[in-house]
Copies of this chain bind each other. A is one copy, B any other.
Amino acid sequence: MEKQHNLSKNQKIIFDLIDKSPEPLKAYSILFNVQKKGINAPLQVYRALDKLVEIGKIHKIESRNAFIACQNSSCQISKATAFSICESCEKVSEISNTKLSKYLSNFADQAGMKYSKYNLEFFGLCKKCKSK
- Give me the interface of A with B, judged by CB distance under 8 Å: 62-63, 79, 84, 93, 95, 97, 100, 103-104, 107, 109-111, 113-124, 126-127
Contact = CB atoms under 8 A, between A and B. Distances in A.
A79 B116 CA distance: 23
Contact of A124 (B116, B120, B123): B116
Contacts of A97: 107, 109-110
Nearest to A87: B117
Interface of A is mostly: mixed
Contact of A100 (B95, B107, B127): B107
B126 A113 contact: yes
Nearest to A103: B103
